[in-house]
Structure 1
Amino acid sequence: MGPVHAAWAVLGLAPLLVLGIPPVWTQPEQVHLSYPGEPGSMLVTWTTFNKTGSTVEYGVMGGRLFDMAAKGDATLFVDSGTEKRRMFIHRVTLTGLKPATAYVYHCGSDDGWSDVFSFTALNDSSSFSPRFALYGDLGNENPQSLARLQKETQLGMYDVVLHIGDFAYDMHEDNARIGDEFMRQIQSIAAYVPYMTCPGNHESTYNFSNYRNRFSMPGRTESLWYSWNLGSAHFISLSTEVYFYLEFGLELLFKQFEWLEKDLQEANRPENRAVRPWIITMGHRPMYCSDDDQDDCTKFDSFVRRGRNDTKPPAPGLEDLFYRYGVDLELWAHEHTYERLWPVYGDKVFNGSKEQPYVNPRAPVHVVTGSAGCRERTDRFNPNPKAWSAFRSTDYGYGRMQVVNTTHIYLEQVSDDQYGKVIDSIWVVKEEHGFSAWF
């Protein structure tokens, strides 16, 4: 082969040679916020695929841009799929924020900066009336409610988002690339308001590793269970999955139960309950539902509610615990529908009165909102629900909640199928909280 032909041969291979060089991944992506639980703080989490610095530069909106900076660190997360893909999860906590003040920020390092985002520091006053979006079961494919939630978040309609389990469908798939894409999708929500989470059954692969590594919730349980305060409410996020994936350790079930009881005891101390009388829980699989899918509520009569007798020792359920400590409101997902219940305990209805069932109810109020949109579509209902089922819808959608004050909470469900129409709403009114309120 002559020199000219050899040169052409090398040039012909050039595209292949270029393709053989891995890209440099120093650009921040998948930016999301969470509330660490300490007044005046916010936690920023993001991802890069090469190791870089972890810095957030920020400033008060309308003031000098990026005149403050905070540093954090990055942890290496190696997905357990066949490719063993590596990513660096960066976490930086901002402190000393002024309540109800808007901030502008970006994150990254001199190797690359994110877009510019903004957030409003949470008001730490117990008289604050926070507004929430709440939903579960939002996927990368068919995320029907996502666009409406993105727009409403950017319009400033929410202070916090509660995602009640099941993300991406599923984060581990395609060697965790689906998880990456989902986190990019929710960035337009989660980079602007705290995105608070709990694990669902779709996170279980590789012992919930994608969930535990990607999210940054309060406490030291890798986001599996934790609590925090906002306004006049004490929020508890829990893992219902400890009742189902015993191969990852039965001790987790008992450890969570012990933690829950201690947390509820603390929340019920008179001086604490006087300031934050509402106790609100969120967990993925509901204690009650009337979906006709032979799933948890129908097949198992809810391990979460009644516990398990096939373990040694038997595993306690959560209904009696929550009732004993006067939990007011329980938020669930998992069923790809919306269902509001009458106040219920022990499978029986305990309305406040016939005319005003949610005024001084004599049992916790349950809401199931798992129809945000995913590839599994929506579920069907049992045509003959039990007496505790008050309202049901198979529309795609999500919930809204406002903890108005110490006596009033407002809840509504939005139908995305009906272009944002509010299809259900209630006021929960309680003049007394705690176990004694049931009588």
Structure 2
Amino acid sequence: MAQLNLTMACSVVWAIMLSVVSVKAILEIQPEQIHISSTNDITEMVVTWSTFNNTNTSVVQFGFHGNLSYSAVGSSTKFVDGGPEKHTQYIHRVKMTSLKPNLTYTYHCGSPGGWSPLFTFRTFPEGTKWSPHLVVYGDMGNENPQSLGRLQEEVQQGMYDAILHVGDFAYDFDFDNARVGDSFMNQIESVAAYLPYMTCPGNHEEAYNFSNYKNRFTMPNYEKTQNLWYSWNIGPTHIISLSTEVYFFFNYGLHQIKNQLEWLIADLEEANSPEARKQRPWIITVGHRPPYCSDTLTRQCELLYSETVRGAFEDIFYKYGVDLSFWGHEHNYERFWPLYNYTVHNGSTSEPYTNPTSPVHIITGSAGCREAHSRFGPMRYYDAFRSSDYGYTRLQIINDTHINMQQVSDDQDGKIVDKVTLVKTKHGMRWN
């Protein structure tokens, strides 16, 4: 009898172990870290997600009102983090095509072995004569993501058309053998699965030649530039995403500086042509490290750092009439008067500044992370407004001549602490 009981007990234990293994196998093909991104075609949307085992197929089913009557098939790539455990996952990419403009779609992604929950997204309207609403921020971490809760609520309310994350994610993607990166991507799924989540690299993505950043996202021109730089259009706006990091991590190849510079000039030549400007009069750039700042906590605002970025981009931006540039890196919000070569053009602090080719620079790097706020030094003559509150920036391209911006403070329960309208006139630029 004792022998029989022992045999039965062993059988039960073995059955439980098999069940655990079976459940683990199911979980490892379940989609997670789901996010979408825009292309330069409003009839397309890309869905990117991860599984921890290979599913052999990558599928998105989509349609209207929960009726998933369409299907798109893509592919997956094996991504092995550079840490000692060689943490492995499969990144799936599927492009939906033939989408109709200005409609809300329902979708889920996965494979016959496991599907994601249902999500929705809305395609962009046709043409350029509409008013995109975007939210812009940088420097959001897995720990202390102060702005994420409010952003989740506002995304659910339909306040935005796209998200711009201007570098520094998770803090850091590669930590704990990339498990911090997995956790962060699951955190932002609550916004990034519903809106195009458009990115640029920051210094915190540097590990293993930016491998986590390159692999986890799918930006326009991904196949050629691995998400490091690209441009895309939304309404009357041409948006250029750049890597400031090619100027600071030379061990990954000086050729990247040349490649990005040649691409940038060619892109701006096209975007600044009379025909292109008539269609899309606004040119906006996003990058991580700013060319101007007044922070004193770190060395980032010393001449060595700011001069590097300023020297790389300022003359080009000025020549091709870039209107607005967003940056992160400093954990605060700082808005500048239109600047070129440390000079504020045409006017005094009590009058509107006008200059048709001097960009307006805005630092918005306070969405929340495990690192401290950046501390301001004395206010400079080129500063229009500064805030050390946690928060993010709302950007509305109203029409061909007006852009509205608001800075939201998480420390003050969503209060708008800075509000400004940028206006183009035939004589230049002015502020309201």
Normalised-by-shorter TM-score class: over 0.9
Look up the match of 1:130: 132
Amino acid corresponding to residue 3 of structure 2 in structure 1 = P
Look up the match of 1:264: 268
1:50 Cα offset (Å): 1.1
Look up the match of 1:333: 328
8 Å Cα contact 2:401-2:425 kept in structure 1: yes
Look up the match of 1:84: 86
1:6 Cα offset (Å): 5.5
Secondary structure, aligned partner of 2:225? coil
Look up the match of 2:253: 249
Look up the match of 1:150: 152
8 Å Cα contact 2:49-2:91 kept in structure 1: yes
Partners of 1:364 and 1:232 lie apart in 2 by 17
Look up the match of 2:361: 366
The yes-or-no answer on 1:396 pairing with 2:397 is no
1:296 Cα offset (Å): 2.2
1:185-228 Cα offsets, whole Å, 9 max, x none, are 00010010100000000000011000000000001211100001
8 Å Cα contact 2:338-2:355 kept in structure 1: no
Using the TM superposition, name which of 186-195 and 36-45 deviates more.
36-45
Look up the match of 2:42: 39
1:63-112 Cα offsets, whole Å, 9 max, x none, are x6001111111111111111112111111111111111111111111111
Partners of 1:156 and 1:98 lie apart in 2 by 19
1:307-366 Cα offsets, whole Å, 9 max, x none, are 4xxxxxxxxx11111111110000001100000001111011125665553555551100
Look up the match of 2:379: 385
8 Å Cα contact 2:345-2:355 kept in structure 1: no
- Judged with a 3 Å threshold, the aligned counterparts in structure 2 of structure 1 residues 124 and 372 are, in CA distance, closer, same or farther, namely same
Amino acid corresponding to residue 373 of structure 2 in structure 1 = T
Within a 5 Å distance, the mapping from 1:35-434 to structure 2 comes to: 35-52=38-55, 53-61=57-65, 65-219=67-221, 220-307=224-311, 317-351=312-346, 355-357=350-352, 363-382=358-377, 384-432=378-426
Secondary structure, aligned partner of 1:261? helix
Secondary structure, aligned partner of 2:363? strand
Look up the match of 1:311: none
Amino acid corresponding to residue 165 of structure 1 in structure 2 = G
8 Å Cα contact 2:345-2:354 kept in structure 1: no
8 Å Cα contact 2:331-2:372 kept in structure 1: yes
Partners of 1:430 and 1:380 lie apart in 2 by 33
Partners of 1:416 and 1:304 lie apart in 2 by 32
**Could you say what the CA RMSD is over the residues aligned between the two structures, in angstroms?**
2.3
Secondary structure, aligned partner of 1:174? coil
Amino acid corresponding to residue 237 of structure 2 in structure 1 = A
Unmatched 5+ stretches in structure 2? none
1:306 Cα offset (Å): 3.9
Secondary structure, aligned partner of 1:91? strand
8 Å Cα contact 2:289-2:309 kept in structure 1: no
TM-score scaled by structure 2? Answer: 0.93
1:39 Cα offset (Å): 2.5
Secondary structure, aligned partner of 2:412? coil
- Judged with a 3 Å threshold, the aligned counterparts in structure 2 of structure 1 residues 387 and 203 are, in CA distance, closer, same or farther, namely same
8 Å Cα contact 1:358-1:427 kept in structure 2: no
Using the TM superposition, name which of 222-231 and 297-306 deviates more.
297-306
Partners of 2:423 and 2:354 lie apart in 1 by 5
1:140-163 Cα offsets, whole Å, 9 max, x none, are 000011000011011100000000
1:36 Cα offset (Å): 1.3
Partners of 2:16 and 2:250 lie apart in 1 by 48
Aligned residues between the structures: 424
Secondary structure, aligned partner of 2:68? coil
Amino acid corresponding to residue 158 of structure 2 in structure 1 = G
1:28 Cα offset (Å): 0.7
TM-score scaled by structure 1? Answer: 0.91
8 Å Cα contact 1:279-1:326 kept in structure 2: yes
1:17 Cα offset (Å): 5.4
Secondary structure, aligned partner of 1:153? helix
8 Å Cα contact 2:46-2:93 kept in structure 1: yes
Partners of 1:19 and 1:296 lie apart in 2 by 53
Partners of 2:308 and 2:95 lie apart in 1 by 34
Unmatched 5+ stretches in structure 1? 308-316
Amino acid corresponding to residue 425 of structure 1 in structure 2 = K
1:246-296 Cα offsets, whole Å, 9 max, x none, are 000011011101110110101111111111111100000000000112322
- Judged with a 3 Å threshold, the aligned counterparts in structure 2 of structure 1 residues 199 and 107 are, in CA distance, closer, same or farther, namely same
8 Å Cα contact 2:134-2:395 kept in structure 1: yes
Partners of 1:256 and 1:9 lie apart in 2 by 65
Using the TM superposition, name which of 78-87 and 335-344 deviates more.
78-87
